A and B are shown apart, each in its own frame.
Chain A
Amino acid sequence: SAVISQKPSRDICQRGTSLTIQCQVDSQVTMMFWYRQQPGQSLTLIATANQGSEATYESGFVIDKFPISRPNLTFSTLTVSNMSPEDSSIYLCSVDRYGQAVGEAFFGQGTRLTVV
């Protein structure tokens, strides 16, 4: 399994500001994923982050709003920019461990973001 530390666990932010969420994995991983879970909803993939290349964004998500960094094989950040109340969600980091259990994803505990 993989141990994933996500920070902060929760935050309350003013609209118009930005928040950066950090995801640290206890071992090197090829792919890291960022998901959004809106209140009472399912998880939706925001983007896939590979080390050394730009993140790949899903339809409906853009880099200007959700810039992602992936400086090495154990760390990634997601920034939620120019926040509005509609951005209030849980944001989850996930990794896929090739070689361990291909096709199995592990998740961090998520960041609960409230925008006021």
Chain B
Amino acid sequence: AQTVTQSQPEMSVQEAETVTLSCTYDTSESDYYLFWYKQPPSRQMILVIRQEAYKQQNATENRFSVNFQKAAKSFSLKISDSQLGDAAMYFCAYMNYGGATNKLIFGTGTLLAVQP
């Protein structure tokens, strides 16, 4: 069974600084997706960034980028120029590619605080 591990329950960053959130996963599959979701106090789960395992190039979305290390099964999220609105719970998630059901497997989350 696939598992996702986030070893940092809480992180803090100064506004305008850079922070990296860690995520490791375990799978025997070769094709899959990895995601970072953000959950602010409003509870709305918002997709931050998505990575296909077959792509060697790391995904980037504006201030958000990932460091995808497939051999190491590592998928970290880097937030540059942190803003107060980035404060939220961040979940790393895994999904099998082409499975019978495209269910997400979530890590336990990292609570990010942004200090002004």
Contacts and interface: CB of A to CB of B under 8 A. Distances in A.
B45 A33 contact: no
Nearest to B95: A103
Contacts of A107: 44-45
B78 to A, nearest CB: 21
Report which residue of A56, A103, A105 has the largest number of chain B beta carbons within 10 angstroms of its beta carbon: A103
Contact of A42 (B35, B101, B103, B109): B109
Given A43-B104, A92-B43, A101-B50, 11 more contacts: A42-B91, A42-B106, A42-B108, A43-B91, A48-B101, A56-B101, A94-B45, A103-B50, A109-B44, A110-B43, A112-B43
A45 B93 CA distance: 12
Contacts, number: 53
Contact of A109 (B33, B42, B97, B108): B42
B106 A43 contact: yes
Interface string B87-116: 000010001010001111111110000000
B47 interface: yes
Interface residues of B, number: 21
Nearest to B101: A48
B45 A92 contact: yes
B85 to A, nearest CB: 17
Interface of B: 33, 35, 42-45, 47, 50, 52, 91, 95, 97, 101-109
10 contacts: A33-B103, A43-B104, A44-B106, A45-B103, A94-B45, A94-B104, A104-B50, A105-B35, A105-B104, A112-B43
B14 to A, nearest CB: 25
Nearest to A1: B47
Interface residues on A, range: 20 to 34
Contacts of B106: 42-44
Nearest to B108: A42
A77 B16 CA distance: 43
A100 interface: no
Contacts of B104: 33, 43, 45, 94, 105
Contacts of B109: 42
Given A33-B103, A56-B101, A104 B91 contact: no
